[in-house]
Amino acid sequence: MKKPMIRFNKRLTQILALIVSVFCVLNLVIPDSDKSAVENRSLQKFPSLSASSLKDGEFFSELNSWYSDQFLGRDQFMQLKYAVNKLTGTKQINDVFLGKGVLIEDVSEVNTEQKERNIAAINTFCTSSGVPSYFLLAPNAVSIQKDKLPAFATVKDQNQQIDDYYAKLDPSIQKVDVRKTLEKHKEEYLYYKTDHHWTSLAAFYSFQDLASMMGLGEVSKDNYNIYPVTTSFEGTLAGKVGSVLLKDQIDIYVPKDNDEYIMSDLTNATTSRSIYSSKALETRDQYTVFLGGNSGRITLEMNNNSDRHLLLIKDSYANTMIQFLIPYFRTIDIIDPRYYYEDVSNLLETQLITDVLFLYNSNTLMQDTSMADCLSVEAE
């Protein structure tokens, strides 16, 4: 009995070795891919060989990354791995929960030192500007839609993180806390199933709270034409786990009284008459339909009678909020501190700013390392 088993194991080992060898040869013959469609990221190319790269080990490190990235069938393997994980009851892959029909990003750890520095910078910036300032810290799906987490999932208390942040902001900064509003609508389509962003619907409900606090008046869905621009969106979380079953719909809200405006991306030196990028819908990252993605500085100039000029300091959660802000301001200066390297305070005077709005999602802000530098203020 042992001999047949030994022969079987030997034959199986030979077959596996042959398969691996064939894959290695194919990897060398088939041209490298530039990008992973599933992970939505650039892939390692075959490294250049040099004496220095051999000596310091860089060549072998990059070779290992190349083989991992360019392995034939990598995307399909990731998709298969996700299906197996679901079937075997796996609850979490890295920072992504495999929830009930959704993927949910875990709560971020707090970068405590940087957080305190950012808060000091925000407080100094707002109190010294003399301009009405507002702060909207959006909760993530992990805190609003807890019922969609896998059973017995253990998560940190994001509400406590948000409460602590708000408590440390200067009293003159008006806090736009949208958590209760989103809780009321938590059964609705507030967060994408495959991505870490909130949807246009969640941004709309939050804008109702923001509009009330900023004195913009009452806002109704009847004020907008709502268009679904795609039903095939697969976001960043799907890219991390290789989901093949989940798709999302992206809606845009176009005001019925839609004034003309010009969008200028000052970082990339482009202009457009729309904040929506139809080209983005042909790419993997369809969320970039809003603004064409993130940029250091974007300006919007509206053809309306408003005398208000908004400075918006934000992360990508704000990209879908901007469609609601447009009718109420004559200009909007949009700053993403992750990509902006000048002193934002200079804009207060040059752009005649009347309102300042900070809009971030909690997970990003708790890890942010750009805010204080962008505001040109050091923590005390």
Predicted local distance difference test score (pLDDT) of residue 76: 54
Predicted local distance difference test score (pLDDT) of residue 380: 43
Dig out the tokens for 245 from the structure: 């079953």
CA distance 166 to 155: 21
CA distance 173 to 83: 47
pTM for this entry: 0.80
Determine the 3-state secondary structure of 311 from DSSP.
strand
Predicted local distance difference test score (pLDDT) of residue 378: 46
Successive 10-residue mean pLDDT values, the chain, 380 residues: 61 64 60 53 61 62 58 54 59 90 95 96 95 98 96 92 98 98 98 98 98 96 95 93 88 90 94 95 93 95 96 97 96 96 90 96 96 71
CA distance 181 to 127: 28
- Which DSSP state fits 235? -
What is the helix, strand, coil percentage profile of the chain, to 5? 40, 20, 40
CA distance 344 to 319: 19
Going through the chain in order, the beta strands assigned E by DSSP cover 35-36, 41-42, 92-93, 96-98, 103-105, 133-138, 174-175, 224-233, 248-255, 261-265, 270-272, 297-302, 309-314, 331-335, 355-361
CA distance 94 to 176: 31
* CA distance from start to end of the chain: 77
- Which DSSP state fits 301? E
C-alpha distances out from residue 293 to 133, 320, 322, 345, Å: 25, 11, 13, 24
Q: Are 122 and 169 in contact (CB under 8 A)?
A: yes
Predicted local distance difference test score (pLDDT) of residue 245: 81
C-alpha distances out from residue 55 to 46, 51, 58, 59, 344, Å: 18, 6, 8, 9, 45
Determine the 3-state secondary structure of 239 from DSSP.
helix
Predicted local distance difference test score (pLDDT) of residue 349: 85
Predicted local distance difference test score (pLDDT) of residue 259: 83
Residue 349 burial (CB count, 10 A): 9
C-alpha distances out from residue 188 to 167, 185, 317, 375, Å: 29, 6, 18, 36
